[in-house]
Amino acid sequence: MVNLTSKKNINDRETNSTKQLKGFSTKSIHGHEFYDPELGLFKVPIYQTVVWEQFDKITGLPRKTSRETELKYSREENPTVYALEKVLAKLDDTEDALAFNCGMAAISTIYLSTLESGSTILISKEAYGVTQQLALNLGKYGVKTLFGGPNTEEIIDLIDDKVSLVVVETITNPLLKVIDVNEVIKVCKENNVKIVVDNTFATPILYRPVKNGAWLVLYSLTKYLSGHNDVIGGSVAGDKETIKVLWDWRKNLGTIMNPFEAYLVIRGLETLEVRFIKQCENALEIAEFLKDNPNVEEVYYPGLKDNAYHSIANKVFEHQLYGGVVSFKVKGGKESAFNFFKKIKVIKSTPSLGGVETLATYPILSASKSMPQSLKEELGITDNLIRLSVGLEDIEDLKEDIEQALKS
C-alpha cells in the first residue's frame, strides 16, 4: 500500500516540519503539507487529471491516500483537493475534511447520507433559504422538516430524541442573529441528536463548532474561505469515521470539488485571517456609519453594543470580532431599496458575500427567496432590507458610496 505521505510518491508529500503547525495563519499557509523534495516545491500544484495509475510500481498494490482511500479517479480523490482538505481539517481542529463543488453539494451530501424515510430534520428558521428548500424537497422521500428559532431557545425547545438532524448557522442570514451554538450542541448531545453547524458567516476564526462538540462543520467555501468572489465550493469537516461515510456518498453523488477550484481555495485560505479581520473592522465602521444616517430605519450588526446579540457573540466567539456582513432597512420601502441598488457605484449589487469586493444584496430576492413567505413575514425580512458584505476597499470610499446612494 502506498501512503501518499511517502517520499516515493510525487503526488502528495509532507515534511515533518509541517506537522507541528500552531497559529491560524501558519496552518492556513502550510497546512496542506505538500512538499516535493525533487523540485523543492512547497506550493500545491493543480493536478488537472482524471486518472492515476491504480497499482503502485514499487509495492504492486493499489495506490492509497493517507486516509486509506484509493487514488485512481478524480471523482473520488485528487491530490490538489486532498491538500485543501488537510488545511480545512486543521483550521477547524477536526480529524478530516472533504471539499465539494459548492456549499449546497456539501449540504445535499450530508442530507442524503444521514436522512431516511421517517427522519425529522430541524433547521433554523433563518437558515439559508436553499438549505431549507432542499430539506422540504426531501419530503417526497418521507423526510419531515421542522423550522425552529430563529433564537437559540426556540431551537432548543424543539430538540428531542425524535429529531435525526439539527442544522444551524452560527450567524443567521440576513438579520445576523448570533446563535449560542454551544447551548444547542449541549441539548443535541443530551438527546443523542446529530448537529451540523453551517459556519460560513463566522469562519473558523470566530468559532470552531466541532471543537465545541458539534458533529460536523460546514462551509460554503464560495464565501470568506476562498474570499475573492471567483470560486464556487463547499466543505464538511468532522471525525474520521463520519468523513469516510460522507466520502463514499460524495463519490456516488459526484459532488467532489474540481482541482482548479481547490487550488484557488488553497490560495485564498493563505490570507483568510488578514482578510477576515479587516472585513470585520470595516463592517463595524460601516454599521456605525449607517446608524447615524437619517435615511436608515434600522441597522443589524452583532458588533454594535446595543444589538440584541452582542453579548451572545462575546460569549461564543473566540475574538471580539463580529463578522463582515451588515444588514439595514432603508426608510421609504422597496422604492428606496431599489434606488440604493441603482445608485451604488463602488459597491456591486449581487447575492454573494465574503469576497474582497463589497457587495449589496436584496435578501427577499436572493438568500431568502426560497424561504416560505410566512417565515419571511414572521422574521421581518422585508422589501426595504439590504445586506452588505463589506469588503476590503478603503473605508472612506465605501462610506461616500453609501452616503450618496442613500441620499438620492
User: Any contact of residue 204 with ligand PLP (CB under 6 A)?
Assistant: no
CB-hemisphere CA count at 13 Å for 266?
26
- Whether the CB-CB separation of 177 and 198 falls below 8 Å is answered with no
Q: What DSSP state is assigned to residue 89?
A: H
User: Any contact of residue 226 with ligand PLP (CB under 6 A)?
Assistant: no
x/- string (CB under 6 A) for ligand PLP, residues 95-114? -------xxx----------
Instruction: Kindly give the residue spans of alpha helices, DSSP state H, lying in 95-202.
Output: 103-114, 129-137, 152-156, 181-190
Q: Which residue in 335, 337, 333 sits closest to 349, CA to CA?
A: 337
Q: Which amino acid is at 334?
A: K
Query: Any idea which residue has 503547525 for its cell?
Result: 21
User: Any contact of residue 268 with ligand PLP (CB under 6 A)?
Assistant: no
Site for ligand PLP in 78-97 (CB under 6 A): none
User: Any contact of residue 389 with ligand PLP (CB under 6 A)?
Assistant: no
User: Any contact of residue 234 with ligand PLP (CB under 6 A)?
Assistant: yes
Residue 176, Ramachandran bin (φ over 0: left; ψ between -120 and 50: alpha; else beta) = left
Size of the site for ligand PLP (CB under 6 A): 14
- Strands 194-198 and 216-220 come out as parallel
SS3 393: coil
Cβ 157 to ligand PLP shortest distance, Å: 23
Cβ 372 to ligand PLP shortest distance, Å: 18
Give the whole-angstrom CA distance, residue 155 versus residue 160. 11
Compute the 3-state secondary structure of the chain and give helix, strand, coil in percent, each to the nearest 5: 40, 15, 45
Q: What are phi and psi of 219, to 5 degrees?
A: -135, 145
User: Any contact of residue 232 with ligand PLP (CB under 6 A)?
Assistant: yes
Cβ-based nearer residue to ligand PLP, 67 or 223: 223
User: Any contact of residue 200 with ligand PLP (CB under 6 A)?
Assistant: yes
Site for ligand PLP in 156-185 (CB under 6 A): 169, 173
Residue nearest to ligand PLP (CB): 103
Cβ 266 to ligand PLP shortest distance, Å: 17
Cβ 48 to ligand PLP shortest distance, Å: 22
Site for ligand PLP in 286-315 (CB under 6 A): none
**Binding region for ligand PLP (CB under 6 A):** 102-104, 128, 131, 169, 173, 198, 200, 220, 222, 232, 234, 367
